Amino acid sequence: MTTLHVQVSDAPLDPTAALEHCSAPGHGAAALFIGRVRDLNQGRQVRAVSYDLHAVLCRNVFKEICAEARGQWGESLHLWLTHRHGRLAVGEASVIAAASSPHRDESFKACRYLVEEMKHRAPIWKQEHYIDGDSDWVKGHALCSHG
Amino acid sequence: MTTLHVQVSDAPLDPTAALEHCSAPGHGAAALFIGRVRDLNQGRQVRAVSYDLHAVLCRNVFKEICAEARGQWGESLHLWLTHRHGRLAVGEASVIAAASSPHRDESFKACRYLVEEMKHRAPIWKQEHYIDGDSDWVKGHALCSHG
Amino acid sequence: MNTNTELNPVSVRLYGAFRQFGQESTLDVSLPLDARVADLRVGLAQHYAGNDSALALLQASAFATDQAVLDEHEALPQDQPISILPPVCGG
Amino acid sequence: MNTNTELNPVSVRLYGAFRQFGQESTLDVSLPLDARVADLRVGLAQHYAGNDSALALLQASAFATDQAVLDEHEALPQDQPISILPPVCGG
């Protein structure tokens, strides 16, 4: 069994699968994060969000982030990082990150690390659709090479 | 609808219900923690754990902890804190804590706060059952009054 | 100890490791009507006399109603269930 | 710019806000065979000449293969798909 799961998908994300993946007889703790589409962003009322992403590079970046988390909080960590693409309505999950570990501190920190790094490094973009009919690409974080 | 859910139960805990509870159109983030029975504790191989708790006081302490989390990270937080009692096999969930909020920082911090405070303040005790047939009550944190 | 000689039975609910010292889930201690929490601790110490592990656990334990943990110098509430809470370890 | 005069068509895949500047999901730019990443950026600036918001986005964007983000001074890989990545905002 592989203890690392990264994926991008246009199908709804499954937190139950993430929690099953992030478990082991020696793991006393699992932490999970869900990001969902919010009805309000910077004062504008949002109806839906379209996510665009570079699938192959995204998976590579996800794997890289997970490897870093294991380097920092333990090679035995089980990790899960999935991001959805396509058009999502308010309330739908755009990202699920999860981690399990023997003790809770590592799970919390690794889970948060996956989320933060994904937001800053993964090639993902979002276009917000407002209730007034307008749409806008959200400003993001500029990427730089690690080389 | 109440946005706070605290409970103690001898039935299996349900992370899906926790994630449904911790959601709202204005909440872009939810964090969840699961504590599970581990097969090894301080070098001894564990077969199962029996949890004993003071149900009424436990719920009161859970509510108090949740109120503190809202005071610190926002009254709009949705919070979930449930603990199981009775005999649990390795891998079964003993506690689920979850929080949702507009932005992720509050969810992560509130979720962690619920877990840490629960461990230090809630009237819960555990007896480990080892594969050699022995059983032992686990040493814990002494309570003091807040008065 | 208190000097009031009128005694009152106080029933204390046992939790956690206190369950290993007997079959009962409560323990009755006779205390003066105006006893404080500290007097209950002394009464329980008499009950557990000779049992070193129970006495050590008692020293590390707190007392509580269903609402809150009690302070050592508070008057013992008369009309509410009292529990003894050994050091806790939820999660 | 490079002085090599032999030109090569480079196909750049567009993502995010770059999709709003046209219907195509890729853009072809002619570049010398030994072009660097910086040369591709110049070529795209010529394509978007006059479109201030595209030029501003281009300036904030990175280029990448499917494996990694490219450094500005690297030689442009010849045999791999190249993508332009505007500032990201997953989650």
Q: What is the mean pLDDT of residues D26-34?
A: 94
- What residues form DSSP beta bridges with C75? C36
The pLDDT assigned to D1 comes to 52
pTM: 0.95
Query: How many residues in total does chain D contain?
Result: 91
Task: Decide if C85 contacts B137 (C-beta within 8 A).
Answer: no
Size of interface A-B (CB pairs under 8 A): 81
Structure tokens at B130: 């080892």
- Among the partner-chain residues A124, A142, A144, the one whose CB lies closest to the CB of D90 is A124
Q: Do chains A and B touch (3 or more CB pairs under 8 A)?
A: yes
pLDDT tens profile C30-81: 999 999 999 999 999 999 999 999 999 999 999 999 999 999 999 999 889 9
Q: How far is B51 from chain C (nearest CA, A)?
A: 8
Please answer whether residues B112 and B48 qualify as being in contact, where contact means their C-beta atoms are separated by less than 8 angstroms.
no
A109 part of contact set with chain B, CB < 8 Å:
no
> What's the mean pLDDT when you consider all of chain D?
93
> For the CA atoms of D54, D57, D63, D64, what is the dihedral angle to 10 degrees?
-100
Residues of chain B contacting A16 with CB distance shorter than 8 Å = 15-16
Local structure of residue B32 (DSSP, 8 states) = E
In the predicted model, is pLDDT for residue C3 greater than 60? no
Q: How far is CA B45 from CA A24, A27, B63, B146, C89, in A?
A: 14, 13, 34, 37, 18
Which of A62, A88, A82, A77 is closest to A30 using CA atoms?
A77
Chain A residues with CB under 8 Å of B36 CB are 23, 27-30
Contact state of B144 with C69 under an 8 Å Cβ cutoff: yes
pLDDT tens-place string over residues B82-119? 999 999 999 999 999 999 999 999 999 999 999 999 99
Q: Which of B20, B33, B34, B105 to mutate to test the interface with A (most CBs of A within 10 A)?
A: B34
pLDDT at D4: 53
* Cβ–Cβ under 8 Å, residues A15 and A33: no
Between CA A114 and CA A5 the distance in angstroms is 12
Element (H, E) at A4: strand A4-9
Among A131, A77, A65, A135, smallest CA distance to A103 is for A77
Contact in structure between A23 and A100 (CB atoms under 8 Å): yes
User: With contacts defined as CB-CB under 8 Å, which chain D residues touch A67?
Assistant: none
A147: pLDDT strictly greater than 50: no
A119 and D67 in contact by Cβ < 8 A?
A: no
pLDDT at D73 over 60: yes
For the stretch A118-131, pLDDT in tens is 999 999 999 999 99
Q: What's the pLDDT band for A144 if we cut at 50, 70, 90? A: confident
- What residues form DSSP beta bridges with D62? D85
User: What is the average per-residue pLDDT within A52-66?
Assistant: 98
